[in-house]
Amino acid sequence: MTDLLVELSDLRKGFGEGEARTEVLKGITLSLPEQEFAALLGPSGSGKSTLLSIMGTLMKADSGRHIMRGQDLMAAGDAELTDFRNRRIGFVFQFHHLFPDLTALENVIFPAAVRAGRETPAQKARGRLLLERVGLGHRMNFRATALSGGQKQRVAIARALMNQPALVLADEPTGNLDRENADQVMALLTEINREEATAFLISTHDAGIAAACRRRITLKDGRVVEGV
């Protein structure tokens, strides 16, 4: 048994053909243990979003090894990857991507309800619990449009946790928030990491956010230059 959550080895990814070809990830070798809480740093264009997309199985690498929870994701087909993603991975983005006319609770359970083909009482109960967890128990039935930026991001975090993912990938989750809300969101992620054993990989340009993480992984020009 391994306690590694993710193992990447010599992972490569490029875009385009011929003269227009750009190699973006140039051999990433990196492991994340279970319950990791790491920042992903690096200049704009260094490959952070590309790496998060691959780790989230939204995109496949061109070559290399990608193992998560012992499963070889390079060898997996599309249906298998979708199922794996739904069960194991959560996403938080810079922009919350909430449906404006749905309530906070409806937004949290919507993806799970679509996948199940219906809304179940168990989903509602979990959605309520998560909204309590992120401090929005009193705003559950507010439409997304009636929530502040920080509150919307907390709804997006609750939504990402709906299926009890092993790993949450967060691409600049505080990029659109002021300092106070950014700090609150980070405090919340830290708490969830500790209490629910969810691993987080958080891409950020913010030194304060990076400092709040247990580990800092830095990419430069498609390679890991620090934090291996």
Ligand X SMILES: Nc1ncnc2c1ncn2[C@@H]1O[C@H](COP(=O)(O)OP(=O)(O)OP(=O)(O)O)[C@@H](O)[C@H]1O
Q: Write out the residues near ligand X by the rule CB under 6 A.
A: 15-16, 22, 24, 42, 44-50
Diameter over CA atoms, the chain: 56
Close Cβ partners of 205 (under 8 Å, ≥ 6 residues apart): 41, 44, 172, 175
**Which residue's CB is nearer to ligand X, number 193 or number 203?**
203
Burial 46-84 (b: 16+ CB within 10 A, else e): bbbbbbbbbbbbeeebeebebbbbeeebeebeeeebeeb
Q: How far is CA 160 from the centre of its chain?
A: 8
Shortest distance (Å) from residue 44 CB to ligand X: 3
**Which residue's CB is nearer to ligand X, number 42 or number 127?**
42
Shortest distance (Å) from residue 42 CB to ligand X: 5
**Which residue's CB is nearer to ligand X, number 112 or number 169?**
169
Shortest distance (Å) from residue 40 CB to ligand X: 9
**How many angstroms separate the CA atoms of 4 and 26, rounded?**
22
Handedness of CA 206, 163, 49, 73 (dihedral sign): positive
**Which residue's CB is nearer to ligand X, number 104 or number 177?**
177
Shortest distance (Å) from residue 174 CB to ligand X: 14
Helix, strand, coil % in the chain, rounded to nearest 5 = 40, 30, 35
User: Which strands make up the sheet holding 71-72, listed edge to edge?
Assistant: 22-33, 4-15, 63-68, 71-72
**Which residue's CB is nearer to ligand X, number 110 or number 200?**
200
**Which residue's CB is nearer to ligand X, number 167 or number 219?**
219
Shortest distance (Å) from residue 219 CB to ligand X: 6
Shortest distance (Å) from residue 205 CB to ligand X: 6
